Amino acid sequence: MTQLFSRFTLMALAGPTLLFNACSKDDNDNEVKPAEALKTETASNLAPAPGTTNPTTGQPGTPRHYAFYSLANKSTVAYTDSATTKWDLAVRGTTILVNGSSSGPGQGGAIVKEGLFSEVTTAPTTDYKQDTPTAKAIPTGSGNGWYNYNSTTHVVAPIAGRVLLIRTATGKYAKVEIVSYYKDAPATPVGTEPSGYYTFRYVYQPDGSTNLK
Amino acid sequence: MHRSLTPTFLLALLLAPAVSWAQQQKAPADTSTRHLRLREVVITATRTEKALTEVPIPVTVVSRQQIKTMGALRLSDVLGEQTGLNVVADHGRGIQMQGLNPEYTLILVDGEPLIGRTAGTLELSRVAVGNIERVEVVKGPASALWGSEALAGVVNIITQKPQPGTRGEVRLRYGTNRTADVGGTFNLKQNRLGITVFGNRYSSAGYTLQPASGQATVPPFASYTGQSRLSYQLDDKTTLSISGRYFIENQRSELPISTEGGQTAPVRLKSRQQDFSLNPTLTRCFSDKLFGTLRFYHAGYRTQENYTYTTDGAYYDASYFHQTFTRPEAQLDWRLHPKHTLTAGAGYLLESVEATRYDQRQQMRSAYGYLQDDWAPLPGLNLVAGVRYDGHNQYRGQLSPKLSGRYQVRPWLAVRASAGRGFRAPDFRQLYLNFSNPAVGYSVFGTHQVQEKVAQLVTQGQIAVDPATGQPLINAALLEQASSLTAESSRAYNAGFQLDPTSKLRLTANFFHNDLHDLIETAAVAQKTNGQSVYSYRNVSRAYTQGVEADARYLLGQYLTLSAGYQYLIAKDRTVLAQLKAGSIYRRDPQTLETIRLREADYGGLYNRSRHTANVKLFYENQAAGWSGSVRGVYRGRYGFQDRNGNLILDAANEYVPGYWLLNVAAAKTFRQRYTLQAGLDNALNYTNPAYLSTVPGRLYYASVAVALGQK
């Protein structure tokens, strides 16, 4: 576990540039579907800016801030807006925040649900967990929430079949599936790639309904 | 039938005319690999001497002659070539039997257990084979006779007993990696006194499979083994025998350690392990019907590891592990009838351990008794029923019954079947560990003290508090389970046949099913304020292993024996099977990143198990001309290594290690019945897989010379 933590600080911050783009995987499908069908968006390489490089070791330190993301606007949000409801998710290392309670001024909450992303078609309206100073709505720790940590290979792997149901800062509903924790989503991470780079798919319902189809 | 042995009755037996039953029982042990029909005698299956062809459970015997012809040095070399046994590495090289990990096989030397399983596996290379008469391997649970650990089976190493005359042998062998083996045996038997002495030095420069790591795969080592047995016939019915063993191994290595500044510093590791044992045994033939054995066994195991900085010799870390095992035991064999033998035994066991990661010296005590009824009610039919009870001061008592039978249907066909229960006691780690990682901050406590330790952490304010309720974050249910830890157990079934269609061919097969309960796993029982967990152990998983093992042996002419073996194995975790059935295990395609739900057919079972293993061997033995030789091919099919896609189960192609063949060759010539030269080549195909197979070095050449001394 020592190695896990040194790697987090080492790798999560090794890449100074924040690559980010939102694109649609379902462009072709959506052209023929009715206009109200929701698009599945993909966000790649969401990661915070690395911390100050340690002058003696030459290695980057822990990021000072989280990386913030707006599901509504399909874009990153500057950390200077962290005290607003402009963001819905924030990441740093293996921790994910939702905008509410101890983490922000919004109505944000989350449910970690087991199932296939495509099978989750309706968002529940109750039972959303909120962040607290000691426990996050999306629990941290291997096997507790969204990832498994392999103590032999030191690889953090998002658990397949975990869907994060999100109540956003403004009280809208969305579903999120994290698919990679490493930069550029390598097919078979070996644990030495820059880590803390989130690639996730999501469906956001802007009309305030629970429909996530 | 089960008449109790009252003192009067015992006295009557003592006064009865003495006829040496042991003499009658003794049959010449067949050391030849050739003859199929000679009466080989085994001791491990029933704890009484019994012909191998008559035991109702699967037993493999490897004779001294076979061990010599193979050119084997250590026990791991011998066992790794037997059908259904795989040498696997997990904190040492151990044996996987019927798909069960090394900690589930009991390893005995002359019926007494070898100790020193710091992390479950008993390192088989600690055992030199130069003084071994034969190795008996019993498959299937034998806890009804042998108690804890005999869940998958038992390996019993039978050392040479004093033989009439004075003789000895010295041996010298040298090979690749500067591997040297020097040793000798000495035997004396005159009148009432018999002595055997064995000494051995085994050393190697080791080898490095991954030079880039900066660390040797096996660092240089040197080990010494001394073993001796003294037997003295007190009178014509009573024999006293005393065996002793001492083993020491020293190893040195260098390894890079990353310091807090992020740099690496070379650190030197000096490690030493030792084991010793003393085993006086008193046997007495009270009559031709009653035979008694009194045994006392004391053994110790010690390791010491010292880490120092290479540059200035400053202290980096040190650890030690001291274990002792003391056991008196008594056994009575009562032959009611030539076809009916009752065996009863009882003993008391005291174990202690003292180690760096344990609070203080810890002791475990247990007492046990066993009873076995070996009965042949009809010609050709043999039934053996046994039961053993182990009472223990740390976990609940274990009752282990077993029933087995063998029936000679036709002169060329015999069938046998058995059902029994096996168990493995929680080990010292699981009961007493007290470890907190200073760098990361998590803690692991043995179940014996976890409640007390967690309560201590609560008062110290080290356990996180639930903000909603104000209560410490403790999983009370898990903590309760941890505190009531019990032994792992299995119910096992074996059934098979032996077929002798011609005098040259023998076919055997055995089907096995092991249903495992209460397997011990770690569990996070509380959450600390530093975000880490407090771990302990609990009984949770259920698994099964099943398969079939088959052997064929064929005499190809006067001197040649061809044999082949195969095992088919399925081993699965029942919890995973239930999750698959419920549809709650998934996999993400690494390319498309799409998630799919897994089906039962996608599950590859437990890690480190090969579905297919096989061997083909050719042995040549021409004693008259002094030539012997062997060619042995051992195949291990692909097996799961570790999870790579985060769903924790074995399902993807890149989670497997590819299968491989090891081909070993040896030839020997004896001159004037005194001088033997042998040359050999292990791993002739030079197969290596540095990333996944640390125990397989490349091609190994060797040559040896042996000189027999004294009377022939």
What confidence tens digit (pLDDT) does each residue in B36-57 have? 445 688 999 999 999 888 899 9
pLDDT of residue A77 exceeding 60, the answer is: yes
- Chain B residues with CB-CB distance to A191 below 8 A: none
Q: How far is CA B529 from CA B20, B442, B455, B461, B463, in A?
A: 71, 10, 14, 8, 5
Whether residue A183 is contained in a domain is answered as yes
Structure tokens at A26: 């379902």
CA neighbor of B631 nearest in space, from B580, B564, B551: B564
Residue type, B529: T
Instruction: Identify the weakest region by mean pLDDT among A188-192, B31-35, B98-102, B430-434.
Output: B31-35
Whether B213 has its CB under 8 Å from any CB of chain A: the answer is: no
CA–CA distance, B51 with B357 (Å, rounded to integer): 47
Q: How confident is the model at residue A37 (pLDDT cuts 50, 70, 90)?
A: confident
Whether B593 has its CB under 8 Å from any CB of chain A: the answer is: yes
For chain A, the average pLDDT equals: 81
* Nearest residue, CB atoms, A134 vs list B263, B440, B467: B467
Number of independent structural domains in chain A: 1
Instruction: Identify the weakest region by mean pLDDT among A16-30, A134-148, B164-178, B252-266.
Output: A16-30
For residue B688, the model assigns a pLDDT of 94
Whether residue A210 is contained in a domain is answered as no
Across the interface, do B643 and A59 touch by the CB < 8 Å criterion?
A: no
CA–CA distance, B2 with B601 (Å, rounded to integer): 51
Across the interface, do A160 and B588 touch by the CB < 8 Å criterion?
A: yes
* Nearest residue, CB atoms, B261 vs list A56, A117, A143: A56
pLDDT of residue B473 exceeding 50, the answer is: yes
Please tell me the distance in Å from B652's CA to the nearest CA on chain A.
Answer: 11
B153 vs B29 pLDDT, higher one = B153
Residue of B nearest to A54 (CA): B261
What percent of chain B stands above pLDDT 70?
Answer: 93
Structure tokens at B121: 């596996």
CA neighbor of B611 nearest in space, from B640, B573, B633: B640
Q: How confident is the model at residue A143 (pLDDT cuts 50, 70, 90)?
A: confident
Whether residue A50 is contained in a domain is answered as yes
Instruction: Identify the weakest region by mean pLDDT among A57-66, A137-146, B143-152, B602-611.
Output: A57-66
For residue B602, the model assigns a pLDDT of 93
For residue B5, the model assigns a pLDDT of 37
CA–CA distance, B449 with B432 (Å, rounded to integer): 7
DSSP string for residues in B635-668: EE--EE----SSSSSS-SGGGEEPPEEEEEEEEE
pLDDT of residue B23 exceeding 70, the answer is: no
Whether B317 has its CB under 8 Å from any CB of chain A: the answer is: no
pLDDT of residue B440 exceeding 60, the answer is: yes
ipTM: 0.72
pLDDT single digits (tens) B219-232:
999 999 999 999 99
Sequence-ordered list of residues with C-beta below 8 angstroms from that of B452, at least 6 positions apart, any chain: none
pLDDT of residue B712 exceeding 70, the answer is: no
B214 vs B626 pLDDT, higher one = B626
pLDDT single digits (tens) A166-199:
999 999 999 999 999 999 999 888 888 888 999 9
Whether B4 has its CB under 8 Å from any CB of chain A: the answer is: no
Whether residue A161 is contained in a domain is answered as yes
CA–CA distance, B141 with B492 (Å, rounded to integer): 7
For residue B69, the model assigns a pLDDT of 94
Mean per-residue pLDDT for B63-76? 94
* Nearest residue, CB atoms, B646 vs list A134, A148, A201: A148
CA–CA distance, A63 with B220 (Å, rounded to integer): 44
For residue A59, the model assigns a pLDDT of 56
pLDDT single digits (tens) B388-416:
999 998 888 999 999 999 999 999 999 99
pLDDT single digits (tens) B474-511:
888 888 888 889 999 999 999 999 999 999 999 999 99
Whether B484 has its CB under 8 Å from any CB of chain A: the answer is: no
Strand partners, B433: B358
CA B102 to chain centre: 6
Whether B17 has its CB under 8 Å from any CB of chain A: the answer is: no
Across the interface, do B437 and A2 touch by the CB < 8 Å criterion?
A: yes
Mean per-residue pLDDT for B321-344? 95
Strand partners, A90: A68, A97
For residue B38, the model assigns a pLDDT of 52
Contact B201, B223 (CB under 8 A): yes
| Region label for A88, one of left (φ > 0), alpha (ψ between -120 and 50) or beta (otherwise) | alpha
pLDDT of residue A53 exceeding 90, the answer is: no
For residue A60, the model assigns a pLDDT of 61
CA–CA distance, A58 with A64 (Å, rounded to integer): 17
B76 vs A14 pLDDT, higher one = B76
For residue A51, the model assigns a pLDDT of 74
- Chain B residues with CB-CB distance to A134 below 8 A: 464-467, 473
Structure tokens at B235: 């009178």
For residue A103, the model assigns a pLDDT of 92
Tell me the pairing of strands B533-556 and B443-445: parallel
Q: How confident is the model at residue B9 (pLDDT cuts 50, 70, 90)?
A: very low
pLDDT of residue B462 exceeding 60, the answer is: yes
pLDDT of residue B12 exceeding 60, the answer is: no
- Domain positions in chain B are 41-159+206-556
For chain B, the average pLDDT equals: 89
For residue B260, the model assigns a pLDDT of 64
CA neighbor of B535 nearest in space, from A151, A96, A136: A151
Q: How confident is the model at residue B305 (pLDDT cuts 50, 70, 90)?
A: very high
Q: How confident is the model at residue B646 (pLDDT cuts 50, 70, 90)?
A: confident
Contact B418, B405 (CB under 8 A): yes
Residue of A nearest to B644 (CA): A188
For residue A4, the model assigns a pLDDT of 40
For residue B264, the model assigns a pLDDT of 80
For residue A61, the model assigns a pLDDT of 67
For residue B3, the model assigns a pLDDT of 39
Mean per-residue pLDDT for B518-544? 86
- Chain B residues with CB-CB distance to A140 below 8 A: 531
| CATH class of residue range B41-159+206-556 | mainly beta
Sequence-ordered list of residues with C-beta below 8 angstroms from that of A193, at least 6 positions apart, any chain: A11, A182, A183, A186
Q: Computed over its alpha carbons, how large is the radius of gyration of chain A?
A: 17
pLDDT of residue A26 exceeding 60, the answer is: no
CA–CA distance, B295 with B510 (Å, rounded to integer): 34
Whether residue A211 is contained in a domain is answered as no
Across the interface, do B586 and A161 touch by the CB < 8 Å criterion?
A: yes
pLDDT single digits (tens) B164-201:
999 999 999 999 999 999 999 999 999 899 999 999 99
Residues of chain A contacting B, Cβ within 8 Å: 1-2, 5-6, 54, 56-59, 114, 116-117, 132-135, 140-141, 143, 147-148, 150, 152-153, 155, 157-161, 177, 179-180, 185, 187-188, 199, 201
Mean per-residue pLDDT for A135-152? 82
pLDDT of residue B560 exceeding 90, the answer is: yes
Q: Domain range holding A116?
A: 2-205
A208 vs A51 pLDDT, higher one = A208
